[in-house]
Amino acid sequence: MRALLLATILLLPVAAMTPPAPTTASRPEPLRLGQMQVWMLTDGRIPLAASLLKGLDAAEARRMLGGKDTADTPVNAFLVRMPGRTVLVDTGMGKDPEEDSGHLMAQLAAAGVAPSDVDLILITHDHFDHIGGLLKADGTRAFPKAVLRVARREHAFWTEDPSRLPERLRDRAPKLKALFAVYEQAGAFRPFEDGEELAPGLRAIPAHGHTGGHTVYAFTSEGRDLWCIGDLIHFGAVQFERPGVGVAFDVDGDRAVKVRQDLFREAARRKVVLAGAHLPKVIRIEAKGEGYEAVPVP
């Protein structure tokens, strides 16, 4: 349960995050969808134990993970450039002294984007590995010109009534409030309501279950759809084939499974490109057997 331990050190000081000078020599090519350009920015990696899987026996879990007891799992943010907008979805975990982490700024620079170029940050949910890059080591905003948006339902879930949270997570409320206050005091924090259109070609799909207000962000351009699905899936080697398998850190396991099944069904039908925070690649999915198969997107 190392990932859960990590959650307790959510707001440790972040090591110096001065981005390296952008280089054009090794600039990664974006995925182009309509007028959008999409980069996966891998902030780091975390080991996820097979024992986190719910609804799957241990031997089967191990087999599906290639004989291993843990899955070496990426932590991704996504950069989406669309006409008139540079959007960052999630911000990774920041620099964690125990983990391979804190590469977001270098990845952003490699894509040719400065932190001050980002004008919109969308947070899928408030877990440590999605909000850890919001502040610099000195406690100021890492993205000084960006508006930070998160579902009001998610923000409220963590901050308004901590007694609803599992006991081990109750100390998170003041830390999260302090973190978001840095953006709020700059007039740059704008929670949104369910169903609110965030920008032309960009909407939020409520996908509660993993957390109280977990959100999928749906981008569309010229008939191409991209969904940044956050933690709709953690174990790519297991939960495409078996979307009914949950993970221990879903706050509402049944709902998380239902949301995954509903959104996977729609994504397969509409050939939506899926960008997962813990998947190694950007993919599409196709129905196969009782579940799905991940198909690389060229």
Tell me the residue type at 30: P
Any idea what DSSP says for residue 270?
Answer: H
CB of 287 to Zn ion, least distance (A): 26
Q: Which of positions 64-93 make contact with Zn ion (CB under 5 A)?
A: none
Contact between residue 165 and residue 158 where contact means Cβ atoms under 8 Å apart: yes
- Number of residues interacting with Zn ion: please give it, by CB under 5 A: 3
CB of 84 to Zn ion, least distance (A): 29
CB of 8 to Zn ion, least distance (A): 15
Any idea what DSSP says for residue 79?
Answer: E
By beta-carbon proximity to Zn ion, the closer residue of 129 and 250 is 129
CB of 129 to Zn ion, least distance (A): 4
By beta-carbon proximity to Zn ion, the closer residue of 154 and 231 is 231
Structure tokens at 200: 């032309």
By beta-carbon proximity to Zn ion, the closer residue of 180 and 235 is 235
Site string for Zn ion, 111-130 (x = CB under 5 A): ------------------x-
Q: CA 182 to CA 280: how far, in whole Å?
A: 32
Verify binding: residue 96, Zn ion, rule CB under 5 A.
Answer: no
| Residue-wise DSSP of 100-147 | B---HHHHHHHTT--GGG--EEE-S--SHHHHTTSB-TTSSBSSTTPE
How far apart, in Å, are the Cα atoms of 80 and each of 63, 168, 176, 231?
36, 34, 25, 18
Q: CA 140 to CA 72: how far, in whole Å?
A: 31
By beta-carbon proximity to Zn ion, the closer residue of 192 and 249 is 249
By beta-carbon proximity to Zn ion, the closer residue of 188 and 256 is 256
Q: Which of positions 223-282 make contact with Zn ion (CB under 5 A)?
A: 231, 277
Q: Which of positions 46-65 make contact with Zn ion (CB under 5 A)?
A: none
By beta-carbon proximity to Zn ion, the closer residue of 81 and 149 is 149
Is the CA virtual torsion 189, 123, 180, 96 positive or negative? negative
CB of 73 to Zn ion, least distance (A): 9
Q: CA 69 to CA 51: how far, in whole Å?
A: 8
Chain contacts with Zn ion (rule: CB under 5 A): 129, 231, 277
